[in-house]
Amino acid sequence: MSALKSLLRLPIDALALFTQAKSFEDNAFIGNRLLNRLGLHVLRVVLAHTAMAIRRTLMAWKLPPEDRKAFARDGFLIKPNFLEHSQFLNLGQDVIKIATDEAPQDSVQGDTLTRQYPITDQRLARYPNLHTAMQNPQYQSLLGYVAGRLRVPFRWVQVIYNGQLPSDEADPQRTPHSDTFQPAMKAWLFLTEANESNGAFSYVPGSHRLSLARLKWEYRQSIVGRDLDSRYSARGSLRIKHEELAQLGLPQPRELRCEANTLIVADTRGFHCRGASNGKTVHRVEIWALSRTNPFNPLPGLPFAVLDRLERRVFPKFEQWRQQYFKQSAP
């Protein structure tokens, strides 16, 4: 039965080559040693970077030249005092209500608990201050440019309890890693300070750029992708050792400590990680956003609200089906 399921999955795995699929472990083609020796993974990386370069060029009008230059150099943008003071305070009141009155989606990785509240159309209607913040034109422009996308990203109210759980396993987010083979956007609008007490976001400056050294490293990783030590690496989110960064001509991760009301937008194709917490602060609160579009589409899409609503309804259901499908198909 397992062999039959694997055979029946081949057409799905083949089609997935043209999507965001990244797992060496779960896909018969993406993890194929021979195909990756022939350059399959590297080809997908190069094509995805090329498509994103085109999309960001088409979206360049959204950002001033100094922001585009800083992002091209570093792979992230930092905007302190992002919202007007009164707007930030009002947003905080809505977030407190959400965290107090509504049921979260909890996930545990090692010794860290992440508590999320998806920002749905229904929540935006119930919490007008949250809605106003999400409509901020600069917020939309910054996220749209880095995502290379005209559509609204997925967003959550997020509370992270970094290192607060008893566990023999460390939080995998504290290891420098790249989220996926394609350029992608994540953003954090911090409602609390982010520092050594609760674990600030850390990023390797310039690691979003595609260099020959990086491509060679990607090539070596892809050949043994299914057998990589980290299960996250085997699933396509490649981990990297600190000494390997120097071999690629990259610096060590920079801890981006910041005050509340700071927005950070990053290309998480670059190497990044969550900083360690010294335990003095219990949690970190933020509005977290994520966007990954089809990696090979050179166009930024259409800015129609109806498409945003459709995506927010369909995508979670598709992801739930996909994860359940692969779980049932696993040997």
pLDDT score for 269: 97
Helix (H) or strand (E) holding 224: none
> Strand, helix or coil at 262?
strand
pLDDT score for 324: 53
Residue 39 pLDDT greater than 60, yes or no: yes
pLDDT in tens, 41-75: 999 999 999 999 999 999 999 999 999 999 999 99
Helix (H) or strand (E) holding 20: none
| Edge-first strand listing for the sheet containing 262-267 | 76-79, 262-267, 185-190, 284-291, 154-161, 112-118, 105-109
d(CA 157, CA 52): 27
Using 50, 70 and 90 to split pLDDT, how confident is the model at 155? very high
* Alpha carbon distances (Å) from 97 to 107, 129, 134: 21, 11, 17
pLDDT score for 315: 58
Token pair 């759980």 is at which residue?
165
Q: Name the token pair of 142.
A: 């910054």
* Residue type at position 191: L
Mean residue pLDDT across the chain: 90
pLDDT score for 144: 96
pLDDT score for 323: 46
Q: Name the token pair of 300.
A: 């930024």
Residue of 101, 259, 93, 107 lying closest to 192 (CA atoms): 259
pLDDT in tens, 238-289: 999 999 999 999 999 999 999 999 999 999 999 999 988 887 667 899 999 9
d(CA 88, CA 175): 31
For 181-200, what is the mean pLDDT? 94
Using 50, 70 and 90 to split pLDDT, how confident is the model at 297? very high
Q: Helix 212-223 crosses helix 40-58 at what angle (to 10 degrees)?
A: 140
* Alpha carbon distances (Å) from 133 to 82, 125, 198, 259: 10, 13, 24, 18
Residue 327 pLDDT greater than 60, yes or no: no
Q: Name the token pair of 62.
A: 């959204």
When mean pLDDT is compared across 50-59, 99-108, 207-216, 217-226, the lowest value belongs to 99-108
Using 50, 70 and 90 to split pLDDT, how confident is the model at 330? very low
Segment of 4-8, 220-224, 277-281, 300-304 carrying the highest mean pLDDT: 220-224
227 close to 234: Cβ distance less than 8 angstroms: yes
pLDDT score for 1: 42
Domains delineated in the chain: 2-292+305-329 (2.60.120.620)
Angle at 62 between CA 253 and CA 179, to 5 degrees: 30
